[in-house]
Structure 1
Amino acid sequence: MKNKWLGFACLLPLLSGCNDANSSISASSDTVSKQQIDTIITNINKLYPDASNDLKQNALNTAVRAIENLVFVKGGSFEMGDFRAPCEIPSRTTNRIDWSPDAQCLSSPSSKLRGANHLHKVTLDSYSMSTYETSFMDMEWMRQINRLPVAADKMDGYHVIKGEVIERGSEDYEYLLTRRKNKATRTINWQQAKDYCQWLGNLTALPFDLPTEAQWEYAARNRGEKRYYATNNGYLQYRNGHYFNPNTGYYIDYTDDEVNAGTSTEDQIGQWPANPLGIYGMSNNISEWTNDWYSPTYYQESPELNPQGPKKGEKKVMRDGKGLMTIDRFPNKIKEDKYYANNSFRCSLQKKTPAIILN
């Protein structure tokens, strides 16, 4: 399993691909060009002239890693929304459904309520999607260099202490690092997610942003295939789980090697297998912000080409969440009262060509 996000540094600055000796920060990459890294360094020094070298280095590492972790998604057309499911599921569990052309029932009971039952054609230009959800530490490096507080609540047991923040270097902070360092970052509002992606754009001079709702679903469904879950095989296979085999008349238990999902949020980013595109965590009980305003009737008026969502609204669309299917969408208020473990995001690159051109 790849986990490039776990750490990145230019340990040997004299090797080819690292930056010149005149720079106070440096990096190397097998895939990101020296020219792109130099651009990031220039922008960091311009935006944060008074930041410490350590903060600049962490910002550089985060930006380079963000480019490394992009998956290019070739554009195309697909039917967006609830593409239906068999009314009687042969496996006797919604965690394991095979689509067939004669499927008549809605896949999710929420589809009609939230407008996903309106199946409609969407055509997308190519773009790139982050392999992983944004990690707590990547968010932390962004917030540190911008002198923002830690993206976490100060707690008294199970209760949030209103008006107080976790001080970096404190015991609370060190405890937080042990628990969340390798997990998806939490957010308290949509703007935090938006700001992080645009910060990457400012550093890299590349069009990073939140994905649109259509881009999220297209990638989760392996470029629009009729897949109910964004896992390696389109099923949710839990530990101690099983399904009915109608051919034998027996239930079949999943082995530990076949497990590809959990019943709670992930213990660490990339814990379960990626979908066929190589994207992790799109069916992992963590809800992800998209760029779109929410409207239950938007699918009825959505343009076919690159839909961007309604022009205005009161809530934003979140996708995935609590192990729901790839077609499920739900509205979320743009600001919460605390940081929830299952509210996170990943960034996309709004560019029709790959960010990395391999030789």
Structure 2
Amino acid sequence: MKNKWLGFACLLPLLSGCNDANSSISASSDTVSKQQIDTIITNINKLYPDASTELKQNALNTAVRAIENLVFVKGGSFEMGDFGSPCEIPSVTRNRIDWSPDVKCLASFSSVETGANKVHKVTLDSYSMSAYETSFMDMEWMRQINGLPVADNKWDGYHIIKGEVIERDSEDYEYLLTRRKNQSAGTKNWHQAKDYCQWLGNLTALPFDLPTEAQWEYAARNRGEKRYYSTNNGYLQYRNGQYFNPNTGYYINYTDDEVNAGTGLENNLGKWPANPLGIYGMSNNISEWTNDWYSPDYYQGSPELNPQGPKSGEEKVMRDGKGSMTIDRVNKPIKRDSYYPSSSFRCSLQQKTPATIVNP
């Protein structure tokens, strides 16, 4: 995992001079100020006075890491929606498309159904986006300190046991940690994603939240460029994949060094190269919750400045997902019966300035 993990020089109680001398937890960071860390420590002690030192320390580490992993996205204007594609793709694969002003076909098969075919101008203020989807372990630390059960299904062979939870002192839990530790957090519903981001906000006193749909697309498309996939080069390049070069008349195979995507779920966050903004996993087969209610008609009358989605609805917008382009919209009910490892989220920071301050 390529996250910038916390340094451990100041994690032991005996070395708590790095922060508030009256606290049993502490942390250091190259990018998050001592004042910000002290704020987090104060809020943890206030919100969870009876929690163990270990739980408080894990919460502190998670909150500081969340700030460290933020990528500042400078605001601007872009044309949101399905910006089209060539009707005949020269590379003979939808995974490798180049946009040109004379495109005449829609890029996505679902754009008419979801309303993404209504291209419209959007102007966004600056904000920050997490470079990574929320990890299973970061979600686990939040759930532990809040007395919530493990966010995953209990299985009996190939069948989910409804109504039962995984006990944290069980073999099932130990197996789950080895399998899911560095993967994205699966969710059962939208509220779990929303609650996690707002929990970060409570600890940090910063406006953490889910990104809006417009913020998600703007970041995935490298500040609104006409990119079909949110990879390092705008293409999906699978292992053993190939494309047709019309200039030579030959098919070209991707080398191992050129692979930038997989056909399944990532087993480690940050496994594939980031997009040009430095954000990972926005084309990794995992659907991500956004803050917006879903309506196929919303793009028809969406406001230009910082659209927030419809005021109400029955489903929420998810973005990315298996084989999805950066313009694809997915609608999901906010409540479901089981956890889905392919339904995750990342948090954003809803302020116009960067969150991190380099320590003096």
TM tier, shorter chain? over 0.9
For the residue of structure 1 that corresponds to 2:95, the secondary structure is coil
Aligned mates of 1:168, 1:332 — CA distance in 2: 30
Cα separation, 2, equivalents of 1:92 and 1:258: 18
- Worse overlay, 178-187 or 17-26: 17-26
Query: What whole-Å deviation, never above 9, does each CA across 1:293-337 have from its counterpart, x for those lacking one?
Result: 000000001000000000000000000000210000010011112
Contact 1:116/1:327 (8 A) holds in 2 = yes
Once the two structures are superposed, residues 154-207 of structure 1 have per-residue CA deviations (whole angstroms, 9 ceiling, x without a partner) of 100111111110000110000000000000000000000000000000000000
In the TM superposition, residue 148 of structure 1 has moved relative to its aligned partner by: 0.2
Q: Deviations over 1:211-258 (max 9, x none)?
A: 000000000000000000000000000000000000000000000000
Matches within 5 A, 1:210-249: 210-249=210-249
What amino acid does structure 2 have at the position aligned with 1:241?
Answer: G
Could you say what the CA RMSD is over the residues aligned between the two structures, in angstroms? 1.5
Q: Which residue of 1 aligns with 2:60?
A: 60
Distance 1:256-1:57 versus aligned 2 partners, 3 A rule: same
SS of 1:79 mapped into structure 2: strand
Alignment coverage as a number of residue pairs: 358
Task: Classify 1:319/1:262 alpha carbon distance in 2 versus 1 (closer, same or farther; 3 Å).
Answer: same
What's 1:327 paired with? Answer: 327
Map 1:190-201 → 2, pairs under 5 A = 190-201=190-201
TM-score, normalised by the number of residues in structure 2? 0.97
- Contact kept? 1:8, 1:61, Cα under 8 Å: no
* 1:281 to 2:281 alignment: yes
Whether the 8 Å contact between 1:17 and 1:34 is mirrored in structure 2 is: no
CA distance in 1, matches of 2:184, 2:245: 36
In the TM superposition, residue 356 of structure 1 has moved relative to its aligned partner by: 1.1
Separation in 2, partners of 1:12, 1:135: 21
Question: In 2, are the aligned partners of 1:17 and 1:33 still within 8 Å (CA)?
Answer: no
2:167, 2:158 → 1: CA distance? 19
Instruction: Compare 8-17 and 118-127 and name the one that shifted more.
Output: 8-17
Q: What letter matches 2:33 in structure 1?
A: S
Question: Who is 1:142 aligned against?
Answer: 142
The equivalent of 1:206 in structure 2 is: 206
1:309 and 2:306 equivalent? no
**What letter matches 2:309 in structure 1?**
G
Letter aligned with residue 22 of structure 1: N
- Structure 1 residue 20: Cα displacement: 3.6
The SS at the match of 1:26 is: coil
After TM superposition, give the deviation of residue 2 of structure 1 in Å: 3.0
Contact 1:17 1:28 survives alignment (8 Å): no
CA contact (8 A) 1:228 1:235 kept: yes
Looking at structure 1, the residues matched to 26 and 93 of structure 2 have their Cα atoms a distance apart, in angstroms, of: 52
The CA distance in 2 between the partners of 1:8 and 1:212, in whole Å, is 32
Q: Distance in 1 between matches of 2:241 and 2:7?
A: 37
Cα 1:287–1:305 change in 2 (3 A) is: same
> In 1, distance between residues paired with 2:16 and 2:56?
21
SS at match of 2:232: coil
Structure 1: segments with no counterpart, 5+ residues: none
Q: Corresponding residue for 2:188? A: 188
- Residue 21 of structure 1 deviates from its aligned partner by 3.2
Cα distance, 1:68–1:152 mapped onto 2, change above 3 Å: same
SS in structure 2 of the partner of residue 4 of structure 1: coil
Distance 2:224 2:249 in 1: 33
Matched residues in 1 for 2:68 and 2:250: separation?
45
CA distances 1:10-42 after superposition (whole Å, capped 9, x unpaired): 446688992143210000000000000000000
Residues in 2 aligned to 1:151 and 1:115: alpha-carbon distance in whole angstroms: 33
CA distance in 1, matches of 2:330, 2:22: 50
- Between the aligned partners of 2:180 and 2:96, the Cα distance in structure 1 is 31
User: Offset at 1:4?
Assistant: 2.1
**Which residue in the other structure is 1:84 paired with?**
84
| Contact 1:9–1:61 (CA under 8 A) maintained in structure 2 | no
Counterpart contact for 1:10–1:26, Cα < 8 Å: no
Distance 1:8 1:163 in 2: 39
Structure 2 counterpart SS, 1:122: strand
The answer as to 2:110 corresponding to 1:101 is: no
User: Which letter does structure 1 place at the counterpart of 2:95?
Assistant: N
Answer yes or no: is 1:39 the counterpart of 2:39: yes
In the TM superposition, residue 341 of structure 1 has moved relative to its aligned partner by 1.6
Q: Does the Cα contact within 8 Å between 1:188 and 1:335 map onto a contact in 2?
A: yes
Taking the aligned partners of 2:212 and 2:205, their CA distance within structure 1 comes to 20
Instruction: Give the C-alpha shift of residue 92 in structure 1.
Output: 0.4
Cα distance in 2 between the residues matched to 1:199 and 1:287: 21
| 2:152 aligned residue | 152
> Structure 1-normalised TM-score?
0.97
Identity of aligned residues (%): 83
In structure 2, how many angstroms separate the alpha carbons of the residues matched to 1:50 and 1:225? Answer: 49
